Amino acid sequence: MDINFSLSSDLDETFWQLGLGAPIAIPGFPLEWRVSLMGGSIVKPVALKELSLSYQSELFQLILGDYALAFPGYLSDMRLRGLAFGMPDVSEKDLNYQKFSWSGVAPAGATVQLYVDGLFYESQETPDGKYAFYGVPLRAFGTSFLLLKVINPDGSIYETIAREVSAAPLTEEHGSGRLTAAFGMIADKPWVEPETQYLLGADSRYGFLPWLT
């Protein structure tokens, strides 16, 4: 059984997440289940974050439930709740290399807002004059435009900083290919809370040359 546990905390909030996964012992039928629970000062006492059932053969993979989709052109680490089909497997992978961290100092008590490609991403208060944004998602292809706004306690703009950041592209090894099709809800909330956004998409890629995919 695979067990993953993470815990994060600051002065105001505490958050934890527990992930479990294991194969189902059915001869000739390679199934695997995964479940993830979350809790903390905001989510009390516990909530179901992820639940999935996966079938993996030599030719294809089928996932029912929650999965992290790695489609080019979308913000990385997109989580869906639905159905995914992939040959030889679903384009589901750790995309930490496509994330960015941004930290710095600001006037004590200021509010720092981060925007990714013109969309609001996160806001932080700085009682000690420090801010840090970790795991900021970047586009799989092209350049992501990041904008940081530092707002004084009186509401005036103290500083605006812009950055252009490029991530490593999603590629396949030379001579290998991948096909993925998926449909589901964009799963940003626990299972008990309804989602409102859906995605239907397909992705195909192939590594033609050692230096071009």
Q: Which residues contact 177 (CB under 8 A, 6 or more apart)?
A: 204, 205, 206, 207
Q: What is the mean pLDDT of residues 28-45?
A: 81
- The pLDDT of residue 127 is above 50: yes
- The pLDDT of residue 1 is above 80: no
pLDDT top residue among 10 and 45: 45
CA 107, CA 110: separation in Å to the nearest integer?
6
Which pair of tokens denotes residue 29? Answer: 């039928």
Q: Which residue is it, tokens 């600001």?
A: 106
pLDDT at 96: 45
pLDDT at 213: 42
Q: % helix / strand / coil in the chain, to the nearest 5?
A: 0, 60, 35
Q: Give pTM, 2 decimals.
A: 0.55
Q: What is the pLDDT confidence band of residue 25, given thresholds at 50, 70 and 90?
A: confident
CATH T-level assignment (fold) for domain 96-166: Immunoglobulin-like (2.60.40)
**Residue among 173, 178, 179 nearest 208 (CA):** 173
Query: Hey, where are the domains in the chain?
Result: 2-91+170-206, 96-166
Q: What is the pLDDT confidence band of residue 206, given thresholds at 50, 70 and 90?
A: low
CA 110, CA 125: separation in Å to the nearest integer?
6
pLDDT at 95: 42
CA 144, CA 132: separation in Å to the nearest integer?
18
